[in-house]
Structure 1
Amino acid sequence: MTFPPLREELRGVEPYGAPQLDVPVQLNVNENPYGPSAETVADIAAAVAAAATTLNRYPDREFTELREGLAAYLNGSGGSGLSADQIWAANGSNEIMLQVLQAFGGPGRTAVSFAPTYSMYPEYARDTSTTWVAGRRHEDFSFDLDHAAALIAEHAPAVVLLPSPNNPTGTALPHEVIGKLCDLLPGGIVVIDEAYGEFRREGVPSALELLPSYRNLVVTRTMSKAFALAGARLGYLAAAPEICDALRVVRLPYHLSAVTQATANAALRHADELLAKVAELRAERDSTVEWLRAQGHAVADSDANFCLFGLFEDRHAVWQGLLDRGVLIRETGPDGWLRVSIGTAAEMMAFKDALTETLTVMRKETELT
C-alpha cells in the first residue's frame, strides 16, 4: 500500500500557490501596494492587545460585532438595507467558497464556472467531492449567456461560481447576466465573487444591488485587496439569512479567532483611510492599460487592480525576462497571456521598463536566428 493513504484523486497534485520570490517589484498576486497608516496600525495593535487579555476564552462564535460592521460597510459600497444576519465571514474568501461548496455542493452535485476563471474554484470542488464543470466565455472574455444557459440546462448545477470583476481577465458582469443566471437556477446558488469589487470603474454596479430580488444570490467580498489586509485573512459574503444559517452548519467551531475579529473590526473603523488609495490605483490601472495598448499589446478591459495582456508566442520567456530584471508578474490565464497587478507609480514604471527591455532583447535574438 502506498503511504500516506492519500485520496486517489489527490495523488501527484501540486499545492496551489503563486511564486513567492524575493524581488524588488512584486506584481503577481494583486495585493494593494499601500500598507495601512501608522494610526491604523496603532488601532489594530491596541485592539489585538485587548483581545489578547481574553485569549484563554473562545472568541464570539457568531462574530456579531464584525457582522454588524461589515453590513454597515457594504450598505455604503453598493448594497442597501443589509443587516448582520445577511453577512457571513471566514478566514479569507477561500474559506468562504469552501464552506459554500461544503453546504451546497458535495457528492452527486455539480459546480459550474466559465473559463477563464479563478484557478482555485476547481480545487474547492475537488476538496468537497463536488463535480466540476467549466464552460467558456467569448473570445473577448465577455460572458456568453446562451452557452451558459445550455450548460446549466445540461448539468443542473447546485452552485455557479463567477468572479466579477473576473480573475484573471478583470471583466465585470452586467446585471442582466447575473439576474438571468439566478432565474436559470431557481434550485441552486449563484455566487458572484467580488474580491475586486471596490476597484470597478465608475458606473459599473455591484451585484449587491440585486440581493433583494434574488434569494439564491450570494455576493462575496474580501479585505485582502482594496482594504490592504491580505495578511489578516478575512473574507465575507452577503446573502439571504437562510444561506448564512446554512453555512453555520458546516463551519468549524470558533473558526474566526479573537485576533482576526479584533483586526477586522479595527480596520473597518479606518475604512475611509484604507480605501483612500483605490482611486489612485484605478487611475494607474487605466494608464497601464492605455500604455500596453499603445505598445501594440492586446489588453482585456479591467475593473480590477490588475490587467491581463498579451499575446506572446512564448509567455514564459517574457515572464522570465521580467523576473531577471527584478519584476515579478503572474503567468496565468489563457495561453499567450500574462497578468500584472497594479502597484505604485514607481513599480509600474519599473514594469514598463522591464517589459520594454525584455521584448527588445527577444526581438534581437529572433533576428539573429
Structure 2
Amino acid sequence: MEWPPLRAELRGAEPYGAPQLDVPVQLNVNENPYAPSDEVVASIAAAVADAARTLNRYPDRELVALRAALADYLGHGVRPEQVWAANGSNEVMLQILQAFGGPGRTAVSFAPTYSMYPEYARNALTDWVVGHREDDFTLDLDHARAVIDEHQPSVVLLPSPNNPTGTALPLEVVAAVCEQAPGVVVIDEAYGEFRRAGTPSALELLGEHRNLMVSRTMSKAFALAGARLGYLAADPVLCDALRIVRLPYHLSAVSQATAVAALGHAEELLGRVDDLRRERDACVEWLRGRGFEVADSDANFVLFGRFADRHAVWQGLLDAGVLIRETGPAGWLRVSVGTPAEMAAFRDALDQITGHDSPAGAELNGPAGAELQETT
C-alpha cells in the first residue's frame, strides 16, 4: 500500500484556495471590503461575551435562535423549520452531497460554475457531470433538460448569481429545472443580496417546488467572511435530512451568537451592499468603455476579458500591487468589487498594463471564441 494511504482519486490533488498574498489592493476572493462598524462590533462582542459564559456546555445543536433570525431576515414566508445553517455555505453544500449524493448517484452543474462543486461531489463519493452554459453565460433550458434526462442526477447545483460570471437565473429557468430534476435542485445565492433591481430570488418559488433548496451566506453582504456562517431555505423534510449527516454540535455557540447579532444590524450592513452595487456597475461601464468584453453581473465581482495571455495581465496587476483572480473561462479574469480607492487603483493599473490609448489593450486580447472551461 502506498503511503500515506490516500484515496486514489485524491492522489496528486491540490487543496482548494485562491492565492493569499500580502498586497495593498486585494480584489480576488469576493469579500466585502467594508469592515463592520463600531456599533456592529460592539453588538457582536456583547453577544459573544454572553455565549462565553456558557462555553462549558455544548451549543444548541438545533440552532433554534439562529434559524428563527435567519427566517425573519429571508422573508418570503420562510419559517424557522425551513432553515438550516452550517460553517459557511461550503459545509451546507457538503452536507447536501452527503445526504443526497453518494456512490451510484450523480450531481450536475453547468460550466463555467463554482470550482468547489466537483470537490464536494468527489468528497461525497458522488459522480460529477458538467454541462455547459451559452456564450453569454445563460443556461439553455433544452440543454439543461437533456443533461438531466440523461444522467438523472440526485443533486443539481446552480449558482445564481453564477460564480465566476455573475449571471443570475430567471425564475422560469429555475422552475423548469425543478420540474425536470428527479432529485434536489440547489440554487446557490451566495451573492444574492447584490442582485440588480428587478432580479428576483429563487426564494419566491420555495412554496411551489418541494425539491428546491436556496442557499445563502453571511460572508459577503454581511461582511462576515471570518465568521463562517452559511445557510439555506428548503422544505422542512430536506432540512431534517441534513440533520442526519451533520456532525454533532457542528456550529459553535460563538458562531451562532455572532450571526444573530449581525442579523440585528441587517439594514446597516446592507447599506454597504448598495454602495458596492454602484461601484460594480461603474466598473462594468468603465471596462466596456475600454473595449473589454464584460459579463453582466448581479454579484459583487466582474468577469472581463478576453486575453490571449490572461496570466500576463494578472501578473502585471499583481506587480502593481493589485491582486485579482485568474479564474473562469479561458481568456477571462475576475475582479472583486472593492472600495472606490481600491477600484481606482485597479483601473489605473489595468490602463498601464493594457495601454489606455488602445481600447482593451488589443495586443493582449485573445480570440472571441475562447472555449468555456470549468473554473479553477
Name 2:190's counterpart in structure 1.
195
- How far did residue 81 of structure 1 move? 1.2
1:62 aligns with 2:62: yes
1:286 aligns with 2:317: no
Map 1:329-368 onto structure 2 (within 5 A): 329-360=324-355
Q: TM-score, normalised by structure 1?
A: 0.96
Question: 1:186-214 CA deviation, whole Å, 9 max, x = no partner?
Answer: x3000000000000000000000000100
Letter in 1 for 2:72: A
1:160 aligns with 2:133: no
1:134 aligns with 2:106: no
Q: CA RMSD in A?
A: 1.5
Between stretches 159-168 and 272-281, larger displacement belongs to 272-281
For residue 153 of structure 2, give the secondary structure of its aligned residue in structure 1: coil
Runs of 4+ in 1 over 6 A off after TM superposition: 361-364
- How far did residue 273 of structure 1 move? 1.1
For residue 33 of structure 2, give the secondary structure of its aligned residue in structure 1: coil
Question: 1:59-88 CA deviation, whole Å, 9 max, x = no partner?
Answer: 00101000000000000xxxx111100000
For residue 247 of structure 2, give the secondary structure of its aligned residue in structure 1: coil
Of 314, 323, 340, the residue aligned with 2:318 is: 323
In 2, distance between residues paired with 1:243 and 1:118?
A: 23
1:261 aligns with 2:259: no
Name 1:34's counterpart in structure 2.
34
1:102 aligns with 2:95: no
Name 1:4's counterpart in structure 2.
4
Name 1:272's counterpart in structure 2.
267
Question: 1:26-79 CA deviation, whole Å, 9 max, x = no partner?
Answer: 00000000111001101101111111111110000101000000000000xxxx
Letter in 2 for 1:190: V
For residue 266 of structure 1, give the secondary structure of its aligned residue in structure 2: helix
Map 1:18-29 onto structure 2 (within 5 A): 18-29=18-29
For residue 138 of structure 1, give the secondary structure of its aligned residue in structure 2: coil
In 1, distance between residues paired with 2:175 and 2:40?
A: 38
Letter in 1 for 2:24: P
Name 1:240's counterpart in structure 2.
235
In 1, distance between residues paired with 2:254 and 2:357?
A: 49
Of 113, 116, 119, the residue aligned with 1:120 is: 116
Letter in 2 for 1:120: M
Name 1:74's counterpart in structure 2.
74
In 2, distance between residues paired with 1:70 and 1:123?
A: 27
In 2, distance between residues paired with 1:42 and 1:235?
A: 22
In 1, distance between residues paired with 2:153 and 2:4?
A: 33
Question: 1:276-322 CA deviation, whole Å, 9 max, x = no partner?
Answer: 11111101100100000010000000000001000000000000000
CA, structure 1 residues 362+14, in 2 after alignment: closer, same or farther (shift >3 Å)?
farther
Count of aligned residue pairs for this structure pair? 362
In 2, distance between residues paired with 1:53 and 1:263?
A: 14
Letter in 1 for 2:86: A
In 1, distance between residues paired with 2:301 and 2:77?
A: 31
- How far did residue 360 of structure 1 move? 2.5
Name 1:311's counterpart in structure 2.
306
Name 1:86's counterpart in structure 2.
82
Q: Percent identity?
A: 73
For residue 355 of structure 2, give the secondary structure of its aligned residue in structure 1: helix
For residue 271 of structure 2, give the secondary structure of its aligned residue in structure 1: coil
In 1, distance between residues paired with 2:264 and 2:179?
A: 37
- How far did residue 275 of structure 1 move? 1.2
1:147 aligns with 2:143: yes
CA, structure 1 residues 346+245, in 2 after alignment: closer, same or farther (shift >3 Å)?
same
For residue 282 of structure 2, give the secondary structure of its aligned residue in structure 1: helix
Name 1:111's counterpart in structure 2.
107
In 1, distance between residues paired with 2:264 and 2:277?
A: 23
For residue 114 of structure 1, give the secondary structure of its aligned residue in structure 2: strand
In 2, distance between residues paired with 1:93 and 1:173?
A: 19
For residue 275 of structure 1, give the secondary structure of its aligned residue in structure 2: helix
Question: 1:4-24 CA deviation, whole Å, 9 max, x = no partner?
Answer: 100000000000000010000
- How far did residue 144 of structure 1 move? 1.0
Letter in 2 for 1:20: Q
In 2, distance between residues paired with 1:274 and 1:180?
A: 34
In 1, distance between residues paired with 2:54 and 2:116?
A: 35
